[in-house]
Structure 1
Amino acid sequence: MIQPTNRAVRASRLKFLLVVLVFAVPIIAAALLNLSGWQPTGKAYGEPILPQRNFEQERVRIQLADGKLWPWRDSSPRMTLIALAGPGCAIHCMQALTKMAAARITLSDNMTRLRLLYLGQPPADAATNGMENYWQLGTDVDGSLGIYRPSAPDSVSALLVESDGTALTLYPDGFDPSGLRKDLQKVIH
């Protein structure tokens, strides 16, 4: 049997060590970045809900127009986009609601993975403009979501809620509907 030389043994150990380092360095770097508190940022158009809230666990009660309670957990995993109308939802509010419904439509085959929920006094012409074709109408029974509702007249804000009831993102009054559409396309695929 031929014995390897010391030089060959050292070379193979060095190669092995280099292979281990190739895999270990990124893991160590990620751990150090995480421990330092750094988190990657992406271009999101909404504001993160911090601290996170879970409406299912908090038992936030939304009563629908038909008297039933809104199920935060659905039969299939679907996110919910909640529109919270300010006082007197009129022209600007309806334009924003229309653009939010259009953002759902642009999801194409995945549009069924997003539910639309409108909370507040429906606009006077809600029945004639087809709003009920896209939006479930409801009321925040205990006012639990009042902190997200805009106070300006003819305005609307939106909340994006995960399928388990966790609130992810707030789109405050005056948000960019095209930014909302881009965010939806990222999270619903």
Structure 2
Amino acid sequence: MSESQANATRSGRLKLVLIMLVFLAPIVAAGILTLTDWQPQGKGNGQPILPQRSFESVRVDVAGKPWAWRDSEPRLTLVVLPGPACAAECLKTLALMRNARIVLNRNADRLRLLYVGTVPTTADAQAVMADYAIGSGGEATFAPFRPTTPDTVSAVLVESNATALAWYPAGFDPSGLRKDLQKVIR
């Protein structure tokens, strides 16, 4: 074998080893991260609901019929819980939550808005509330999530299998909710 052939063979083997390392490196890195129990930390704006719970057995009536947590197609539900005396600030947050749904564009149908509580009676409330299903019931289940401060609102994001994913307590940033919805609903 001539020296040029030997150099070509070494060069070819080196390239093959480098290609194998490019594909092997992520697998080795994933194995190391798994062995060290590292978990990625998402930067969601809502608070995780721990322990996770299912709302499938929670009865909420909407227009005299029970709310179907498991819908005919996979859709999330944003359960909106007003505090006492929902007025101007509460209504402003409700409008921003509705807008967060609208921003989803073609995926807006994958999110249902469920308002559980006394409907606000201010003059501009009808326009905002038109996009919400108005429900009643589930008081015991929703009590830990419902705000106690007047003119506030909180929300619980519920997966299509009726599992509660995240809680947005009173005073949450609606733009953070919008960002979370855009991550979850694609």
Class of the TM-score when normalised by the shorter of the 2 chains: 0.7 to 0.9
| Paired letter, 1:62 | V
**SS of structure 2 residue aligned to 1:76:** coil
Relative to structure 1, the CA distance from residue 142 to residue 152 in structure 2 (aligned partners, 3 Å threshold; closer, same or farther) is: closer
Whichever residue aligns with residue 59 of structure 2, its letter is R
Name which of structure 1's ranges 43-52 and 114-123 shifts more when overlaid on structure 2.
43-52
Q: Which residue of 2 aligns with 1:103?
A: 100
Aligned twin of 1:39: 39
Matched residue of 1:137: which SS?
A: strand
Q: Which runs of 4+ in 1 moved over 6 A?
A: 10-18
Contact 1:83–1:117 at 8 Å: present in 2 too? yes
8 Å CA contact 1:155–1:173 kept in 2: the answer is yes
Structure 1 residue 142: deviation in Å?
4.8
Q: Indicate how the Cα distance of structure 1 residues 142 and 154 shifts in structure 2: closer, same or farther if over 3 A, else same.
A: closer
Structure 1, gaps ≥5 residues long: 1-9
Task: Give how far 1:169 is off.
Answer: 1.2
**Counterpart residue identity of residue 33, structure 1:** L
SS at match of 1:51: coil
Q: Percent identity?
A: 54
Counterpart of 2:79 in structure 1 is 82
Mapped partners of 1:149, 1:130: distance in 2: 23
Q: Secondary structure of the equivalent of 1:148? A: coil
Match for residue 143 of structure 2 among 136, 146, 155: 146
The equivalent of 2:48 in structure 1 is 48
Q: 1:83 to 1:126 in 2, by over 3 A?
A: farther
* Partner SS state of residue 130, structure 2: helix
Aligned-CA RMSD value: 2.6
Partner residue, 1:4: none
Corresponding residue SS for 1:129? helix
Change (3 A) 1:142 1:179: closer
Which one of the candidate residues 164, 169, 184 is aligned to 2:166? 169
* Contact 2:82/2:116, CA 8 A, preserved across alignment: yes
Deviation at 1:22, TM superposition (A): 4.6
| Counterpart contact for 2:91–2:125, Cα < 8 Å | no
CA deviation map 1:53-91 (0-9, x unaligned) = 2212xx111111x11111011111111111111111111
Q: Name structure 2 gaps, 5 residues minimum.
A: 1-9
Contact between 1:60 and 1:142, CA under 8 Å: does it hold in 2?
A: no
Aligned residue pair count: 182
Task: State the TM-score, normalized to the length of structure 1.
Answer: 0.82
Structure-1 separation of matches of 2:134 and 2:111: 15
Mapped contact 1:81–1:114 kept (Cα < 8 A): yes
